[in-house]
Structures are given as structure tokens and as C-alpha cells.
Amino acid sequence: MTLEYSTAQPAGLLAVKAKGITRHFDEHVALDAIDLEMREGEFVALVGKSGSGKTTLLRILAGLDSPDGGTLLVPEARTVVFQEPRLVQSKRVWRNVNLGLRRGVANKTTAEEALRVVNLEHRVNAWPATLSGGEAQRVALARALVRQPKLLLLDEPFAALDALTRLQMHQLIRELIERFTPATLLVTHDVDEALLLADRVIVLRDGKLATEIVPTDPFPRHPVGPVFTETRRNLLGELGVEI
């Protein structure tokens, strides 16, 4: 198996179709009848305050949590990159990348290739405990990509990284998504990150989809200029931050 360039075009078929997704935690309504459609190769950023239900929705799409109501269709091949790397400390880096894959499908070469994609070919045999934060998170990304996901779920994967590493990760992830074209859902509360990376930014408020913003600048985007500033102000306004 090799990591291939996908030929699928964005704005293609629906990769995610969710209707009326509802989730309660005891009395608290975390998600209130969410409808969400995502197309192949589309990058959607989901922003919202803490406790707005972002991560809950992501976990439901991943199949890690079950909704109390609604209907949902997702691709079989879907992977999650969590906020922390969540590597298995007892396995070397390349074995972490291949974690859970069948031996016939995955071998060291596949892992090496995935690690090359995230610029970590020199850390193939390292132990997770010896990696820096950014390196560990890139291994987690390689682990997600080696499965050739049709849906890539990113749960604030850059939140714990330093600003410089985060910028590099932004570039990297955008490249990877254009190359492999999974539908991608990025959960974040970083407004700039959402506007720089996403085809579509969705604001979640009190468990409901509040607004949708579609940035029109071509990639790679830069956080400068009057249009960006205006969009950013609007988005922050939606989140209750006036600047």
C-alpha cells in the first residue's frame, strides 16, 4: 500500500450526512438537533466557546460517542487526531503509525512513507517519550493519514503546540488535505486558525449551529488585509467577543 494522490475533486459527493443529531448529558443539552453535511475534500472548521458542544459533535462523527437522537452517515475510513498525541508509549514511532492496521496492509515502509509526509523520517525508530510536542503531534497526524481516511477529524490538534510549530502545522495540514482530499472537520476555538485553513467555518452556540462563514480568499491565506480583519471581527462577534 502506498499513500496516493487522490483524484477526487472537492465539492464532490457528500462524505458526511448528519440530521438532527442530539446529545444530552443528564439535564444538559450538549447538541440540539444538529444538521451537518460535508463534501469530499471539504475542510470545515467548527468553532465555538468551551462547552458549546464542538468536541461532542466530533466524537459522535468519529463513533466514539453515541447520539441520543438523529441520523448519521459517515465514511467507514475515518480517523481522529486528538488534542494530545495519544501515542502508545510502549511502541516505537513507526509501530504507533501502524497501530491496529493489519500486517498485510501495513509494514515499516508504509509507516516510513507516512512519516516522510509529515517530515519525520528521521524519527521512525524513536520512542514516543523522546519526541517533542510538535513531533509527537505530527506522528499522530501520520497515524491518521496512513489509514487513508475519507473523513479526518481534528480535535484542536494544534492547541498544545507553540506558535511557530503551529504555523508549520497549519501549512502541513493544508498541503496534506489538498493532497489526500479527505473531508476534514477541525474543531478549534482559534478563530484565526479556522479562517486560515477552512473552506467553511461553522459557529456552534449552545448546541446549535449558529452561523456559517465562507472565507473566499484563495489558499494559502494570510492573516492580513481588510477582508480578513472584517471576517475575523464578524466571527469573533458571533462568539461573543467584541473587538
Nearer to other proteins (CB atom), residue 4 or residue 76: 76
Burial 73-107 (b: 16+ CB within 10 A, else e): ebeeebbbbbbebebeeeebbbbbbbeebeeeebe
Give the 3-state secondary structure of residue 199: coil
Beta strands in 82-162 (DSSP E): 151-155
Rg (CA), the chain: 18
Smallest gap from residue 72 Cβ to other proteins (A):
6
Neighbouring C-beta atoms of residue 169, cutoff 10 Å: 19
Smallest gap from residue 235 Cβ to other proteins (A):
29
Nearer to other proteins (CB atom), residue 62 or residue 172: 62
Smallest gap from residue 77 Cβ to other proteins (A):
8
Backbone angles phi, psi at 227, to 5 degrees: -65, -45
Residues near other proteins (CB under 8 A): 12-15, 17, 22, 24, 27, 40, 60-76, 150
Smallest gap from residue 23 Cβ to other proteins (A):
9
Nearer to other proteins (CB atom), residue 40 or residue 135: 40
Nearer to other proteins (CB atom), residue 46 or residue 194: 46
Nearer to other proteins (CB atom), residue 65 or residue 113: 65
User: Which single residue is written with the C-alpha cell 481522529?
Assistant: 80
Smallest gap from residue 69 Cβ to other proteins (A):
4
